[in-house]
């Protein structure tokens, strides 16, 4: 282990996008039994860039939702490169509602370059679909665990990541937008992406340090056993809370993400008229 080379943030971006990495269906195969995919948003169509359904985890029914990317060009076109349209977010919300109704925990796998920026997606209310997914996930009355398994980019990633417990694989990235997009906005030059990665703070270690994620999962041979162990521990821990306690704790967890992690009293000490 000591000789393992540390990847730079930009190398992690490239790792996160590698098509040879496990995809959502491999995670489902390795970690759950008897997965049954459930399709469609009941409004317009089935967005295949999101997979959702029910499976057994150590014998317990759970709802699994995640982004799907292709392994080759043909598949990538079929799954729209993992870029989700409003219909995909609405399918996710439908499955979350179903999970809550029947008391099933929700496990999500996040791996997306972002929500789809397209004509039809905009016409069908992309903003609204993402906002509804974030809001719904924030108040679900069942345990929720999210794992960033590749690139978690922008609101499209957050829509599946407002969870009680948020984990990242050690070499993956979670960011406000792609480093290329960041560089082109900031410096009008997408080629400066590697430089952008250094200042964006998008690696698992940095985000854990900020308190924005709860834990890091090792990759390589240990990946699946570690995920299995983590899910089991987290679902056992979270399963002890009532539905309303889960929602209240989750609200407080995200409420604290105020950027004052090292100086928590900076605002509270100031004169103000609220309260």
One character per residue 200-219, x = contact with another protein (rule: CB under 8 A)? xxx----x--x-x-------
Residues 6+ apart with CB under 8 A from 64: 28, 32, 35, 51, 52, 53, 54, 55, 106, 107, 108, 109
If the CB atoms of residues 171 and 175 are measured against another protein, the closer one turns out to be: 175
Q: Rule CB under 8 A: is residue 126 a binding residue for another protein?
A: yes
CA within 13 Å, CB half, 218: 8
Interface with another protein includes 65 (CB under 8 A)?
no
The single residue among 118, 237, 239, 244 that binds another protein, judged by CB under 8 A, is 118
166 DSSP assignment: E
Taking the C-alpha atoms of residue 245 and residue 213, their distance in angstroms, rounded to an integer, is: 20
Q: What are phi and psi of 203, to 5 degrees?
A: -85, 160
Identify the residue among 175, 234, 235, 238 touching another protein (CB under 8 A). 175
**Distance separating alpha carbons of residues 62 and 33, to the nearest angstrom:** 10
- According to the binding rule CB under 8 A, does residue 102 interact with another protein? no
Closer to another protein by Cβ: residue 53 or 143: 143
Contact between 272 and another protein by CB under 8 A: the answer reads yes
Angle between helices 193-200 and 9-17 (to 10 degrees): 110
Site residues, another protein (CB under 8 A): 115, 117-119, 121-128, 130-132, 134-136, 138-139, 154-155, 157-158, 162, 174-177, 181-182, 185-186, 199-202, 207, 210, 212, 250-251, 254-255, 257-263, 266-267, 270-275
């Amino acid at each position: 282990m000591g000789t393992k080379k540390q990847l730079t943030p930009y190398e992690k971006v490239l790792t996160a996008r590698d098509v040879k990495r496990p995809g959502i269906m491999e995670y489902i195969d390795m970690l759950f039994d008897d997965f049954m995919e459930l399709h469609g948003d009941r409004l317009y169509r089935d967005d295949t860039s999101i997979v959702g359904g029910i499976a057994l985890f150590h014998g317990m029914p759970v709802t699994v939702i995640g982004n799907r990317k292709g392994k080759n060009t043909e598949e990538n076109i079929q799954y729209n490169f993992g870029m989700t349209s409003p219909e995909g977010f609405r399918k996710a919300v439908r499955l979350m509602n179903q999970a809550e109704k029947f008391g099933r925990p929700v496990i999500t796998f996040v791996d997306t370059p972002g929500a789809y920026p397209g004509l039809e997606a905009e016409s069908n209310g992309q903003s609204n679909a993402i906002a509804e997914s974030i809001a719904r996930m924030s108040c679900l009355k069942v345990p929720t665990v999210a794992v960033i398994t590749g690139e978690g980019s922008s609101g499209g990633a957050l829509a599946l990541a407002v969870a009680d417990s948020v984990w990242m694989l050690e070499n993956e990235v979670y960011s406000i937008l792609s480093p290329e997009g960041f560089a082109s906005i900031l410096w009008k030059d997408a080629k400066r992406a590697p430089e952008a990665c250094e200042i964006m703070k998008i690696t698992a270690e940095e985000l854990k340090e900020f308190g924005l994620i709860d834990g890091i999962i090792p990759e390589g041979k240990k990946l699946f056993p570690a995920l299995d162990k983590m899910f089991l521990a987290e679902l056992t821990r979270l399963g002890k809370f009532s539905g309303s306690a889960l929602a209240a704790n989750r609200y407080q967890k995200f409420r604290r993400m105020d950027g004052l992690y090292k100086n928590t009293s900076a605002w509270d000490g100031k004169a103000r008229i609220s309260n």
